[in-house]
Amino acid sequence: LDASLSRLSSGLRINSAADDASGMAIADSLRSQANTLGQAISNGNDALGILQTADKAMDEQLKILDTIKTKATQAAQDGQSLKTRTMLQADINRLMEELDNIANTTSFNGKQLLSGNFINQEFQIGASSNQTVKATIGATQSSKIGLTRFETGGRISSSGEVQFTLKNYNGIDDFQFQKVVISTSVGTGLGALADEINKNADKTGVRATFTVETRGMAAVRAGTTSDTFAINGVTIGKVAYEDGDANGALVSAINSVKDTTGVEASIDANGQLLLSSREGRGIKIEGSIGGGAFINKDMMENYGRLSLVKNDGKDILISGTNLSSAGFGANNFISQASVSLRESKGQIDANIADAMGFGSVNKGVMLAGASSVSAYMSAAGSGFSAGSGYSVGSGKNYSTVFTAANTITISAASQLSKVYNVSAGSGFSSGSTLSQFATMKTTALGVKDETAGVTTLKGAMAVMDIAETAITNLDQIRADIGSVQNQVTSTINNITVTQVNVKAAESQIRDVDFAAESANYSKAN
């Protein structure tokens, strides 16, 4: 009677171990499991809160990146002046500041989420230890996203047939492009090679641009071309031109056949003659263009420079045949740089600018007490280091080396200027060391620091590439977060059902059957 009364008053069939020892043990285990699962559900909801907070913050960052890319696209046309491009860059700088502000201030319970420190964070979502879900949220600051690889080959001075192969383009396979002829003919040259590379860009992840320009070393002075003066096999003949080509005779004569030659002439802001290939085929000057044009002898045949862009920041590995005809041969120096979004905000370093393809010329001589380019670069004090962005066999074509066995005499500053196209303040002086030469040879040959981001046309194009990479980076991080959210949501749904069933099982063991126990109580009375 006492046992029956106790069960009816408590509602439990098991009030002490004596009532059902094994049943009590099972019921206690089930109760513990149900309570633990309840906390696991709370943990999972906390994880969802963290991931959703990060996801929404990155959604705002993506909107900022979209705006940055749009403004870079706006700047990427020559209808913009330096003034308007500078205004656009100021807007971009502010947007980058806000992007970094979001990355540095987004937090949950005092824990920063987008700073790069949220790595392999675990959430217990099971009844037993180590039943966890791990989550990692990558860094989203401007210095950590948008890492884009730029590589520009040496200036090409001879024609040939090129076949490119991208090594391990997807981490496993190689991709071989069709052969392309580098020459001055229609449908050839770096334009044709860039087209071949770009039509496969969706598969390889590598895109190409080209610069084929021949520029005078100084402002045009009065002169006369020869009767045999020709460009790309088309005879132009004798032309008398004035200082600065004031009468437009030289430019007009060259442009009169531009549809045939593919070469267009203009006078740049510094008064220098600029010959540009419209389609990416070579520029070959025959006969004499006259000393007043200041076209160096080694620029009389010019096939330009090829620039490659890859949006994952990794090295672009190339093999193939006759790569020197594309500026990527064993004796070329390739300018290489991996650039983050933040690095496009301020002044662009000369090495990075050259890797982006700012310079149309990068060939010159090297003065050094070494027997080869490779030996020079390896020498102590050469100015070349592992992170310099230069490598043998890969753009700045200083292939001529004056060694200890050679002599060179420069007797006047004007001669120095003619050889190196430098002026006072270049850093070149009597007794200059190897490191000074290493510094000099980039700046002296037109490779220089460039103004920030979108303030130049090429800079705007580069920012578009970098912003696109940054968008891809954030999308990848968000996709990973989304996968973890789905995993956590599924786990919560599962353990919620499990908790309900475990509680029901415990109730079957522990709770009293009132109807049966009431009957027992009545019988006892």
Concatenated DSSP letters for 63-96?
Answer: HHHHHHHHHHHHHSSTTS-HHHHHHHHHHHHHHH
Does 136 lie in the same domain as 14?
Answer: yes
Tell whether the model's pLDDT for residue 339 goes beyond 70: yes
- Do residues 304 and 216 touch, judged by C-beta distance below 8 A? no
- Do residues 24 and 114 touch, judged by C-beta distance below 8 A? no
Q: Which two tokens stand for residue 488?
A: 């956590």
Does 134 lie in the same domain as 10?
Answer: yes
Tell whether the model's pLDDT for residue 413 goes beyond 50: no
What confidence tens digit (pLDDT) does each residue in 253-281 have?
999 999 999 999 999 989 999 999 989 99
**What is the C-alpha to C-alpha distance for residues 384 and 296, in angstroms, rounded to an integer?**
27
Does 380 lie in the same domain as 274?
Answer: no
Q: What is the largest CA-CA distance in the chain?
A: 135
Find the helix packing angle between 514-524 and 2-10, rounded to 10°.
150
Does 419 lie in the same domain as 508?
Answer: no
- Do residues 354 and 152 touch, judged by C-beta distance below 8 A? yes
Does 112 lie in the same domain as 43?
Answer: yes
Give the pLDDT mean for 7-14: 68
Q: Is residue 317 part of a domain?
A: no
Q: Count of domains in the chain?
A: 3
Does 133 lie in the same domain as 10?
Answer: yes
Does 129 lie in the same domain as 87?
Answer: yes
Q: Is residue 388 part of a domain?
A: yes
**What is the C-alpha to C-alpha distance for residues 334 and 353, in angstroms, rounded to an integer?**
13
Could you give the percent of the chain with pLDDT greater than 70? 77
Q: How far is CA 205 from the centre of its chain?
A: 11
Q: What is the pLDDT of residue 438?
A: 39
| Sign of the dihedral defined by the CA atoms of residues 13, 18, 20, 22, in that order | positive
Beta partners for residue 257, in sequence order: none
Does 247 lie in the same domain as 137?
Answer: no
Q: Is residue 310 part of a domain?
A: no
**What is the C-alpha to C-alpha distance for residues 58 and 475, in angstroms, rounded to an integer?**
9
CATH (domain of 280):
3.30.70.2120
Could you give the percent of the chain with pLDDT greater than 90? 57
Q: What is the pLDDT of residue 5?
A: 64
Tell whether the model's pLDDT for residue 447 goes beyond 90: no
Q: Is residue 19 part of a domain?
A: yes
**What is the C-alpha to C-alpha distance for residues 486 and 48, in angstroms, rounded to an integer?**
9
User: Using 50, 70 and 90 to split pLDDT, how confident is the model at 473?
Assistant: very high
Give the 3-state secondary structure of residue 465.
helix
Look at the block and give the residue holding tokens 């920012």.
Answer: 463
User: Using 50, 70 and 90 to split pLDDT, how confident is the model at 47?
Assistant: very high
Closest alpha carbon to 467 in 343, 317, 314, 356: 343
Please state, in angstroms and as integers, the Cα–Cα distance from residue 156 to each residue in 25, 189, 203, 305, following that order. 84, 10, 27, 6
Q: Is residue 100 part of a domain?
A: yes
With residue 401 as reference, give the H or E element that holds it. Answer: strand 397-402
Between β-strands 148-152 and 160-166, what pairing exists: parallel, antiparallel or unpaired? unpaired
Question: Residues near 136 by Cβ (< 8 Å), separated by ≥ 6?
Answer: 118, 119, 120, 121, 480
Q: Which residue has the higher pLDDT, 325 or 412?
A: 325
Give the 3-state secondary structure of residue 441.
helix
What confidence tens digit (pLDDT) does each residue in 374-408 have?
554 455 444 444 444 444 444 344 444 444 444 44
**What is the C-alpha to C-alpha distance for residues 327 and 212, in angstroms, rounded to an integer?**
12
CATH (domain of 117):
1.20.1330.10
Please state, in angstroms and as integers, the Cα–Cα distance from residue 26 to each residue in 14, 497, 520, following that order. 11, 19, 25
* Domain boundary, last residue among 244, 272, 297: 297
Does 473 lie in the same domain as 412?
Answer: no
Does 377 lie in the same domain as 478?
Answer: no
Q: What is the pLDDT of residue 301?
A: 94
**What is the C-alpha to C-alpha distance for residues 269 and 313, in angstroms, rounded to an integer?**
35
* Domain boundary, last residue among 271, 297, 323: 297
φ/ψ (deg, to 5) at 499? -60, -45
Query: Can you spell out the DSSP letters for 149-215?
Result: EEEE-PPB-S-EEEEEEETTTTSS--EEPPPEEESSSTT-SHHHHHHHHHTTHHHH-EEEEEE-EEE
* Domain boundary, last residue among 280, 297, 314: 297
Q: Is residue 382 part of a domain?
A: yes
Q: What is the pLDDT of residue 9?
A: 64
Give the 3-state secondary structure of residue 224.
strand
| Range of the structural domain that residue 270 is part of | 223-297
Tell whether the model's pLDDT for residue 114 goes beyond 90: yes
Average pLDDT over the chain reads: 82
Does 93 lie in the same domain as 6?
Answer: yes
Q: Is residue 321 part of a domain?
A: no
What confidence tens digit (pLDDT) does each residue in 364-376 have?
443 444 444 455 4
Q: What is the pLDDT of residue 475?
A: 96
With residue 105 as reference, give the H or E element that holds it. Answer: helix 82-105
**What is the C-alpha to C-alpha distance for residues 400 and 518, in angstroms, rounded to an integer?**
108
Tell whether the model's pLDDT for residue 525 goes beyond 80: no
Q: Is residue 155 part of a domain?
A: no
Q: What is the pLDDT of residue 514?
A: 62
User: Using 50, 70 and 90 to split pLDDT, how confident is the model at 335?
Assistant: confident
Tell whether the model's pLDDT for residue 324 goes beyond 80: yes
Q: Which two tokens stand for residue 389?
A: 């962005």
Does 431 lie in the same domain as 383?
Answer: yes
- Do residues 278 and 262 touch, judged by C-beta distance below 8 A? yes
